[in-house]
């Protein structure tokens, strides 16, 4: 009932409150755990007299000045066969675990502790005419007020907040006690200024007899016939609360949802937490949420969860699916991506929320890079996410400008998407209790961050104040209620916006990912090739000098010794690397690093980004993928001084010409090696340029920091191969970087250089 209960009885706190909560959970277990079974169509009831609970009741009743109530009994377990359980469940599928629409309180039908054949349950909504608010603790309800008890032992009356359930046991078609109970309840309500809402009152009859009767006389309350339904629904929010972990009493009472957890990989870097059961007949919205640490991203995600669960202000509840404070195991994995799947029974839609842990946290830029790599894994995984409805960029209204780190964050995420995603990117502005100033939007535009706009070319954004979890008292209630409803209105607008947008396949996005991976691998390989060529140049110059100094001996075909600095390849462990760059794909034939960074997700090397038609596109001989290995080692060039002899040099090139021309032929052979290396270098430069041009065609942000970081290196190399038009295009792309981007660019360059130094030790 909504009437206030005597102190110590239904205040929702103290020993009585705790016992009431335990009893409530026990009652709910009878329904949700599906332990209802039958044998020979007869219910076998196992009663448990809760002695300790009864003592609490007696004490509570004495505190309120009343006499002791009769002992309370609870049907704890019903045990019989599976076959008849199915028959029962088929008849009342969902009847005992759903939601009575538009009820402000909470109701639960429970089985009375007796044996029988027909159970009729009357579920009525009751509101006190003079009540101003519900009880203080919604999760414990106003259970056991003892101001209204059943007049017949075969009946049970259960009251939750402003809802009441009458459960009547009917034997031999004798409904006298049940009907009398209903009349007594109606009279009691009238005497105590309580109004029975007959429009919201439903009756359900469950007949367990072999020969079921189809004729049951209707029941009346205050002259109004009660609607009989084949099934009814409990308040879904209350049902969810009973199955969740309460973390704060409130108001609002805060709960952690119970979810089924799985992982896309053994290291749990990409995880899936599921609430409810998927209904393929319902539309599902997949939303990626990205934001810097401290912007209110977590509260925004939970706002979406509460919206789709149907939580209302009157429920005085708040559900959370994240566990930032309570789960140390997951808290430690700051770079892990979590897909929250919410499948409520009573919602017209479901949500899949991709939560990127806060960029810019204590893990630094290295962790930020891991987050981006985990997103790639999610999109590439066979059982991962392959289409998306929205990308939400979270910014706080209190920000007057985007920080360098935040620019880097948005750039890192947006750079992985294809051009077709732009109209699905929206701004979510948090901590906004007043009108949004245009300064923030202008700052975002200055950062050239693409996002959706309406028909008038104005920014599409949704503002939230993030105050739903704040405690409040009676003075703040009206303000808090207005804030809550404003947030839910924004969610209505957001979902309406999503309904105007086409769900986008991530096929083009995966193409962008491949191009960026190829570009990165090509630049890495090009750097190795340049280092090799420079070493060859030094070796050539030293050899040429030695031959010139010993020209007389060469003419006489005499042997001589000279010294050169030579470079050679050795395999060394990758040092101090993060998981995403701790493995490299190397060719065992060419002794080259074909894919040095970011080669973490493939188990079969034929799927590596540098492989095409089962052959490598990077190593000198374009070897088959089976000639490659992926391990925590890479090839590096080492230098050493080496003494050589003229005889060894001749044998190397196997030249049988006369000694007088030997000098020219040997130098020619060395120069041919150098020319071949230069040609390989030119090929890599062309490949890198082509990857950048492809990104310009398909990427949402071709001039991302991940592309710009390579231009300073590539432009001089393109000049070396004489491609002036290409140089001009790359310079134009370089010019798109504005002064506002300098901080983010320097931030990214610092990470890029530090990362390479760290890997190579």
SS3 755: helix
Q: Judge whether residue 473 has pLDDT over 80.
A: no
The end-to-end CA distance of the chain, in Å, is: 70
pLDDT band at 103 (very low <50, low <70, confident <90, very high): very low
The lowest-confidence range among 227-241, 297-311, 333-347, 415-429 is 227-241
CB neighbours of 96 closer than 8 A, spacing ≥ 6? 31, 109, 234
Nearest to 748 by CA among 699, 708, 692, 702: 708
Nearest to 740 by CA among 403, 394, 412: 403
CB neighbours of 303 closer than 8 A, spacing ≥ 6? 464, 466, 468, 487, 491
DSSP E strands in 208-302: the ranges are: 220-221, 224-225, 227-228, 245-248, 253-256, 260-263, 270-276, 284-291
* Tokens 């010409």 belong to residue: 657
Write out the H or E segment, with its range, that includes residue 644.
strand 633-645
Decide which of 323 and 395 is more confident. Answer: 395
Q: Judge whether residue 394 has pLDDT over 50.
A: yes
Answer whether 43's CB lies under 8 Å from 75's CB: no
> Exposed (0-12), middle (13-18) or buried (19+): which is 602, by Cβ within 10 Å?
middle
Most confident stretch, 15-19, 236-240, 603-607, 654-658: 603-607
**Which residues, listed in sequence order, are joined to residue 77 by a DSSP beta bridge?**
46
pLDDT score of 201: 83
pLDDT score of 305: 96
Determine the Cα–Cα distance for residues 246 and 252; give it in Å rounded to an integer: 11
Where exactly does CATH 3.40.50.300 map onto the chain?
244-504
**Which residues, listed in sequence order, are joined to residue 585 by a DSSP beta bridge?**
595, 630
Determine the Cα–Cα distance for residues 598 and 600; give it in Å rounded to an integer: 6
pLDDT score of 755: 47
pLDDT score of 745: 53
* Tokens 């890079």 belong to residue: 369
SS (H, E, C) 117-130: CEEEEEEEEEEECC
Answer whether 459's CB lies under 8 Å from 451's CB: yes
SS3 225: strand
The lowest-confidence range among 298-302, 398-402, 510-514 is 398-402
The Cβ of residue 356 has, within 10 Å, a number of other Cβ atoms equal to: 23
pLDDT score of 100: 29
Write out the H or E segment, with its range, that includes residue 491.
helix 477-499
pLDDT score of 276: 92
SS3 338: strand
Determine the Cα–Cα distance for residues 48 and 76; give it in Å rounded to an integer: 6
pLDDT score of 44: 26
| Token reading at 709 | 């970081």
Q: Judge whether residue 482 has pLDDT over 90.
A: no
Q: Judge whether residue 187 has pLDDT over 80.
A: yes
Percent over 70 (pLDDT), the chain: 67
**Which residues, listed in sequence order, are joined to residue 429 by a DSSP beta bridge?**
395, 463
pLDDT band at 71 (very low <50, low <70, confident <90, very high): very low
Nearest to 113 by CA among 150, 72, 85: 72
Overall average pLDDT of the 358-380 stretch: 70
pLDDT score of 624: 94
pTM of structure: 0.63
Q: Judge whether residue 761 has pLDDT over 80.
A: no
Nearest to 117 by CA among 55, 58, 171, 178: 171
Determine the Cα–Cα distance for residues 485 and 495; give it in Å rounded to an integer: 15
Q: Judge whether residue 389 has pLDDT over 90.
A: yes
Q: What is the DSSP letter of 146?
A: -
Q: Judge whether residue 424 has pLDDT over 80.
A: yes
Most confident stretch, 33-37, 233-237, 374-378, 424-428: 424-428
Decide which of 138 and 293 is more confident. Answer: 293
Determine the Cα–Cα distance for residues 208 and 42; give it in Å rounded to an integer: 7
Pick the CATH number of 244-504 from 3.40.50.300, 3.90.120.10, 3.30.420.480, 3.20.20.70: 3.40.50.300
Answer whether 717's CB lies under 8 Å from 684's CB: no
SS3 133: coil
Percent over 90 (pLDDT), the chain: 17
SS (H, E, C) 505-560: ECHHHHHHHHHHHHHHHHHHHHHHHHHHHHHHHHHHHHHHHHHHHCHHHHHCCCCC
Decide which of 749 and 117 is more confident. Answer: 749
Q: Judge whether residue 705 has pLDDT over 80.
A: no
pLDDT score of 162: 53
Any idea what the Cα angle at residue 113 is, between residues 107 and 116, rounded to 5°?
A: 105
Q: Judge whether residue 404 has pLDDT over 80.
A: no
pLDDT score of 334: 53
**Which residues, listed in sequence order, are joined to residue 15 by a DSSP beta bridge?**
none
pLDDT score of 435: 66
Determine the Cα–Cα distance for residues 402 and 447; give it in Å rounded to an integer: 8
SS3 61: helix
pLDDT score of 670: 72
Nearest to 655 by CA among 671, 673, 667: 667
Overall average pLDDT of the 214-229 stretch: 82
Q: Judge whether residue 16 has pLDDT over 60.
A: no
What's the distance, CA 125 to chain centroid? Answer: 38
> Exposed (0-12), middle (13-18) or buried (19+): which is 563, by Cβ within 10 Å?
exposed
pLDDT band at 304 (very low <50, low <70, confident <90, very high): very high
**Which residues, listed in sequence order, are joined to residue 245 by a DSSP beta bridge?**
256
Q: Judge whether residue 494 has pLDDT over 90.
A: yes
pLDDT score of 701: 84
SS3 440: helix
pLDDT band at 178 (very low <50, low <70, confident <90, very high): confident
Determine the Cα–Cα distance for residues 601 and 372; give it in Å rounded to an integer: 13
Q: Judge whether residue 703 has pLDDT over 70.
A: yes
Nearest to 459 by CA among 413, 412, 415, 395: 395
Overall average pLDDT of the 179-183 stretch: 88
| Token reading at 429 | 């502005």
Cα distances (angstroms) measured from residue 105 to each of 94, 139, 186, 471: 19, 11, 18, 21
pLDDT digits (tens, 9 = 90+) for 111-156: 322 222 223 333 333 333 333 222 222 222 222 334 567 788 777 7
Decide which of 613 and 38 is more confident. Answer: 613
Q: What is the DSSP string of 678-708?
A: HHHHHHHHHHHHHHHHHHHHHBS-TT-HHHH
Decide which of 745 and 486 is more confident. Answer: 486
SS3 333: coil
The Cβ of residue 370 has, within 10 Å, a number of other Cβ atoms equal to: 23
Overall average pLDDT of the 573-583 stretch: 74
Overall average pLDDT of the 6-14 stretch: 28
Answer whether 179's CB lies under 8 Å from 195's CB: no
* Tokens 């060395």 belong to residue: 670
Determine the Cα–Cα distance for residues 168 and 217; give it in Å rounded to an integer: 15
pLDDT score of 43: 27
**R_g of the chain, CA atoms, integer Å:** 37
Q: What is the DSSP string of 61-115?
A: HHHTT-PPPPPPEEEEEE--BHHHHHHHHHHTTTTTSS--TT-SS-------SS-
CA dihedral 554, 555, 559, 565 (to 10 degrees): 0
Most confident stretch, 63-72, 174-183, 207-216: 174-183
SS (H, E, C) 178-201: HHHHHHHHHHHHHHCCEEEEEEEE
CB neighbours of 544 closer than 8 A, spacing ≥ 6? 667, 670
Determine the Cα–Cα distance for residues 381 and 385; give it in Å rounded to an integer: 8
Determine the Cα–Cα distance for residues 205 and 154; give it in Å rounded to an integer: 16
pLDDT band at 267 (very low <50, low <70, confident <90, very high): confident
**Average pLDDT of the residues of the chain:** 72
Q: Judge whether residue 186 has pLDDT over 80.
A: yes
Decide which of 268 and 682 is more confident. Answer: 682
CA atoms 376, 380, 385, 387: torsion sign: positive
Determine the Cα–Cα distance for residues 214 and 212; give it in Å rounded to an integer: 6
pLDDT digits (tens, 9 = 90+) for 506-556: 889 888 888 888 888 888 888 888 888 888 888 888 888 888 888 888 878
């Amino acid at each position: 009932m909504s009437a206030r209960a005597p102190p110590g009885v239904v205040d929702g706190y103290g020993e009585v409150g705790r016992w009431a909560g335990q009893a409530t959970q026990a009652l709910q277990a009878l329904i949700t755990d599906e332990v209802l079974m039958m044998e020979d169509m007869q219910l076998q009831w196992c009663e448990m007299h809760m002695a300790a609970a009864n003592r609490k009741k007696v004490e509570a009743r004495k505190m309120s000045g009343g006499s002791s109530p009769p002992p309370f009994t609870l049907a704890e377990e019903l045990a019989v066969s599976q076959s008849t359980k199915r028959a029962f469940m088929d008849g009342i599928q969902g009847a005992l675990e759903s939601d009575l629409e538009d009820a402000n309180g909470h109701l639960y039908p429970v089985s009375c502790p007796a044996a029988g054949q027909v159970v009729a349950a009357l579920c009525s909504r009751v509101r006190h005419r003079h009540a101003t608010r519900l009880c203080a603790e919604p999760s414990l309800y106003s259970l056991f007020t003892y101001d209204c008890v059943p007049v017949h032992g075969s009946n049970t009356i259960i009251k939750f907040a402003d809802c009441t359930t009458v459960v009547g046991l009917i034997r031999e078609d004798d409904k006298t006690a049940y009907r009398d109970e209903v009349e007594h309840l109606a009279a009691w309500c009238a005497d105590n200024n309580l109004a029975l809402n007959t429009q919201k009152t439903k009756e359900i009859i469950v007949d367990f007899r072999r020969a079921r009767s189809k004729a049951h006389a209707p029941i009346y309350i205050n002259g109004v016939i009660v609607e009989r339904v084949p099934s009814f629904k409990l308040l879904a929010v209350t049902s969810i609360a009973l199955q969740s972990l309460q973390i704060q009493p409130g108001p609002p009472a805060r709960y952690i949802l119970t979810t089924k957890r799985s992982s896309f990989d053994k290291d749990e870097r990409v995880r899936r937490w599921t609430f409810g059961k998927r209904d393929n007949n319902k539309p599902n919205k997949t939303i990626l949420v990205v934001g810097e640490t401290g912007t209110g991203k977590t509260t925004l995600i939970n706002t979406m969860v509460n919206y789709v669960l149907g939580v209302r202000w009157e429920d005085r509840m708040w559900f959370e699916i994240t566990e930032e404070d309570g789960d140390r195991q997951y808290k430690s994995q700051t770079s892990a991506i979590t897909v929250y799947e919410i499948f409520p029974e009573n919602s017209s839609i479901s949500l899949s929320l991709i939560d990127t842990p806060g960029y810019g946290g204590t893990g630094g830029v290295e962790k930020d890079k891991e987050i981006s790599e985990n997103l790639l894994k999610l999109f590439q995984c066979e059982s991962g996410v392959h289409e998306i409805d929205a990308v939400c960029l979270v910014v706080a209204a209190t920000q007057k400008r985007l920080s360098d780190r935040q620019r880097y964050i948005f750039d890192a995420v947006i750079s992985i998407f294809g051009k077709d995603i732009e109209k699905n990117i929206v701004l979510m502005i948090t901590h906004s209790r007043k009108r949004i100033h245009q300064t923030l939007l202008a700052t975002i535009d200055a950062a050239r961050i693409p996002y959706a706009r309406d028909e008038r070319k104005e920014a599409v954004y949704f503002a939230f104040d993030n105050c739903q979890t704040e405690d409040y008292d009676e003075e703040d209630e009206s303000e808090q209620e207005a804030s809550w409803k404003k947030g839910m209105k924004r969610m209505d607008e957001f979902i309406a916006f999503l309904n105007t947008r086409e769900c986008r396949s991530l096929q083009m996005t995966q193409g962008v990912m491949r191009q960026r991976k190829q570009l990165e691998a090509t630049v890495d390989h090009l750097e190795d090739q340049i280092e090799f060529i420079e070493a060859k140049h030094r070796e050539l110059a030293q050899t040429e000098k030695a031959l010139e100094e010993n020209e007389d001996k060469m003419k006489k075909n005499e042997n001589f010794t000279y010294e050169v600095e030579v470079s050679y390849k050795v395999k060394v462990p990758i040092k101090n690397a993060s998981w995403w760059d701790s493995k490299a794909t190397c060719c065992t034939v060419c002794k080259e690093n074909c894919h040095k960074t970011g080669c973490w997700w493939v188990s079969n090397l034929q799927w590596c980004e540098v492989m095409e038609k089962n052959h490598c596109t990077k190593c000198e001989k374009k070897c088959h993928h089976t000639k490659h290995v992926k391990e925590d080692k890479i090839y590096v060039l080492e230098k050493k001084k080496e003494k050589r002899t003229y005889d060894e040099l001749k044998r190397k090139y196997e030249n049988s010409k006369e000694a007088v021309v030997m000098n020219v032929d040997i130098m020619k052979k060395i120069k041919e090696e150098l020319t071949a290396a230069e040609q390989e270098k030119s090929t890599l430069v062309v490949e890198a340029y082509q990857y950048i041009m492809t990104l310009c065609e398909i990427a949402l942000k071709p001039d991302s920091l991940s592309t710009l970081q390579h231009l300073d290196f590539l432009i001089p190399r393109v000049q070396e191969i004489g491609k002036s038009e290409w140089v001009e295009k790359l310079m134009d792309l370089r010019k798109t970087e504005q002064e506002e981007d300098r901080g983010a660019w320097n931030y990214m360059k610092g990470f890029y250089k530090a990362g390479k130094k760290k890997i190579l030790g």
